[in-house]
Amino acid sequence: MNGDGVRILVIEDEEPLRMALVDALRAEGFAVLEAGDGETGLALALSEGPDVVLLDLMLPRRDGFSVLRALREDRLTAAVIILSARGEEWDRVQGFEYGADDYVVKPFSTRELLLRIRAVLNRADGRTPGLDVEGGKVRVGEAVIDFAAYTVTRDGERHGLSRRELDLLRYLIEHDGETVERGRLLEDVWGKDEYPTTRTIDTHVLKLRKKLERNPESPRHIVTVHGVGYRFSRRG
């Protein structure tokens, strides 16, 4: 794959790193935009609508989380990969909560970053056919999922969804009433080019439940089938 037509915005204040990223991405054929602070980065993202945003967290003028939140509130569907410093465990969780698609930990290799970029781009292309939810809204119990806005709204509260959470949810909705094995979820939602563990699935399910279910401790929509996987029910 070359970068034809794919536009990447790099928001990173550390100049040597930003320049190295821009060079490496251009060498791969991507069209690259860059910003050295959060405010400029957000403005560029909103005006240019890039396909992928590489987002540092510690930024002058507006921090990475604030940029991410603003992007999702503005319904920007770009894939966001967070460039995080080592060991920012809290940040990682927070990043996914706010709708990041992936993250890499500094220092990272160009190769690793390119793999992640390709993975998020492939996920965006490989939309599951057969369910016309693209751009639409789907009701699950008391919650409304907006597939275009990457959000779930329940009891007047709106939560952001990462692209992966949305893919998982879409898959579950398509298999309403079926018991889906974890292995199948790994293969169909994550794909065989990636190596998530079954724990990854469980973590995503927990996050989805918090946003979707009135009582996440005793879920009605995403029910655990012990030793097997999950069963989804739209009505609950």
Query: Judged by CB under 5 A, which of 33, 53, 54, 56 binds Ca ion?
Result: 56
Q: Which residue has the tokens 């987002």?
A: 55
Q: Which is nearer to Ca ion, 37 or 188 (CB)?
A: 37
Task: Report in angstroms how near the CB of residue 85 gets to Ca ion at its nearest.
Answer: 8
DSSP-derived secondary structure for 21-79: HHHHHHHTT-EEEEESSHHHHHHHHHHH--SEEEEESS-SSS-HHHHHHHHHHTT---E
* 8 Å CB contact between 106 and 85: yes
Which pair of tokens denotes residue 141? 């119990």
Which of 58, 124 has the CB closer to Ca ion? 58
Q: How far is the CB of 59 from Ca ion (least distance, A)?
A: 6
Contact segment (CB under 5 A) with Ca ion among 13-21, 66-74, 84-92, 187-195 equals 13-21
Task: Please identify, using beta-carbon distances, which residue of 15 and 187 lies nearer to Ca ion.
Answer: 15
Tell me which of 58, 70, 138, 144 binds Ca ion, using CB under 5 A.
58
* Residue placing its CB nearer to Ca ion in the complex, 61 or 69: 61
58 contact partners, CB below 8 Å, separation of at least 6: 13, 64, 85
Distance, CA of 131 to CA of 129 (rounded, Å):
6
Q: In the bound complex, what is the minimum distance in angstroms from residue 209's beta carbon to Ca ion?
A: 33
CB 78 within 8 A of CB 45: yes
Over the window 159 to 198, marking each residue x when it contacts Ca ion by CB under 5 A and - when it does not, the resulting string is: ----------------------------------------
Closest distance to Ca ion from the beta carbon of 55 (Å)? 10
Would you list the DSSP string of 200-216?
HHHHHHHHHHHHH-SST
Question: Is residue 13 part of the contact set for Ca ion (CB under 5 A)?
Answer: yes
Q: Toward Ca ion, which CB reaches closer, 58 or 138?
A: 58
Task: Tell me: does residue 34 bind Ca ion (CB under 5 A).
Answer: no
CA dist 77 to 15, 147, 179, 228, Å? 26, 10, 30, 33
Near Ca ion in 77-136, by CB under 5 A: none
Residue 88 vs 188, nearer CB to Ca ion: 88
Binding residues for Ca ion, rule CB under 5 A, total: 3
Beta bridge partners of 180: 230
Positions that interact with Ca ion (CB under 5 A): 13, 56, 58
